[in-house]
Amino acid sequence: MNLKFSCDMMLYDVARWLRFLGYDTEYARYKRRDKSRIYLTSNEKLNDVFLLKHGSLSEKLLTLEKEFRIIENARPFTRCSICNIQLEEATENDIDNLPPFVKENFNSFRKCPKCGRLYWKGSHYGKMIEFLKNLFPDLLNL
C-alpha cells in the first residue's frame, strides 16, 4: 500500500510522524485537492476529508492505524521529515563531516537529495521507534 496524505496546518505533529513512517505527506493549507491524497484535518467544519479529532498524538496515531494501517505498512527511515522526499544512501563523502562518534557507532546513513540533511538511526530515531512500540506492541516489527 502506498498511501499519500495531506495534513492541514493544525496537524504538524501528525505530518512529521507520517513522514517518519515513510508516507508522502504534504503539510500545507489546502489548495487544489489532489485525489491521490487522503486529507486529514481537525477542523470539524470541513467536508470530504478525514476528521482527526482533537486529542493526544497517541490517539491520533491509533485512529490512523485503525483506519489506514499506517503502522503495519510503515517504512521508517526512508523519507526526509523536512522536505518529504525519499532519502538516498549517503556516500563516504557525505558523512565525512559527521562527528567521529557517529561514524563509529552507526553504519547506515541516508541523505536527503534536496536539503542534504543526513539521517542515521541514532537516539532520536530510537526514541521514536520506542514510542511506537509502546503504542502498537503487536504490530511493529522493526
Residue with smaller CB distance to Zn ion, 112 or 132: 112
User: Residue from 71, 90, 112, 132 that binds Zn ion (CB under 5 A)?
Assistant: 112
Tell me the closest approach of the beta carbon of residue 21 to Zn ion, in angstroms. 16
Counting residues that bind Zn ion (by CB under 5 A) gives 7
Residue with smaller CB distance to Zn ion, 51 or 95: 95
Buried b (16+ CB within 10 A) or exposed e, 56-88: eeeebbebbbeebebbeebebbebbbeebeebe
Select from 89, 123, 116, 120 the least CA-distant residue to 107: 120
Span interacting with Zn ion, options 3-11, 56-64, 89-97, 116-124, rule CB under 5 A: 116-124
Cell, residue 78: 526512508
Helix, strand or coil, per DSSP, at residue 118? strand
Tell me the closest approach of the beta carbon of residue 82 to Zn ion, in angstroms. 5
Which of the residues 65 through 104 are near Zn ion (CB under 5 A)?
80, 82-83
Tell me the closest approach of the beta carbon of residue 9 to Zn ion, in angstroms. 20
Query: What does 41-81 look like in DSSP terms, one character per residue?
Result: ES-TT--SSEE--SS-HHHHHHHHHHHH-TTTT---SSB-T
Residue with smaller CB distance to Zn ion, 83 or 129: 83
Residue ranges in contact with Zn ion by CB under 5 A: 80, 82-83, 112, 114-115, 117
